[in-house]
């Protein structure tokens, strides 16, 4: 099992009530599977996956990126700007 820290920002932090969640995932799990685990646990954060960004250890990554023990994943919602 891999321990992963998930950083929550903006609307995700508000809906979950925390800015960080620690979870256990099986080896070989991806950023996408992490997202679906979070939605299963916190359905109020569901958002179209194609509109989200993920960063692992400070670098933006693709949804199919495999996670490793000790990784820190930031779940970044879309930002409106003008």
Q: Is 82 contained in some domain?
A: no
Question: Taking the complete model, does pTM exceed 0.75, yes or no?
Answer: yes
Q: Is 55 contained in some domain?
A: yes
Q: Is 16 contained in some domain?
A: yes
Q: How confident is the model at residue 80 (pLDDT cuts 50, 70, 90)?
A: low
Instruction: Give the chain's domain count.
Output: 1
| pLDDT tens column, 50-68 | 888 999 999 999 999 999 9
How does the average pLDDT of the chain come out, rounded? 91
Q: In the numeric block, which tokens belong to residue 46?
A: 């569901």
Q: In the numeric block, which tokens belong to residue 45?
A: 């954060």
Q: Is 81 contained in some domain?
A: no
Work out the burial of residue 62: count CB atoms within 10 Å of its CB; fewer than 13 is exposed, 13-18 middle, 19 or more buried.
exposed
Q: Cβ(67)–Cβ(30) under 8 Å?
A: yes
Q: Which domain holds residue 42?
A: 2-76
Domain CATH number, residue 56: 3.10.20.30
| pLDDT tens column, 8-53 | 988 889 999 999 999 999 999 999 999 999 999 999 988 888 888 9
């Amino acid at each position: 099992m891999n321990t992963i820290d998930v950083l929550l920002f903006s609307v995700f932090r508000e809906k979950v009530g925390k800015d960080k969640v620690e979870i256990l995932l099986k080896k070989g799990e991806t950023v996408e599977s992490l997202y679906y685990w979070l939605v299963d646990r916190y359905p109020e954060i569901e958002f179209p996956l194609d509109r989200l960004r993920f960063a692992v250890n400070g670098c933006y990554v693709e949804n199919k990126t495999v996670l490793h023990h000790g990784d820190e994943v930031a779940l970044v919602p879309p930002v409106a700007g003008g």
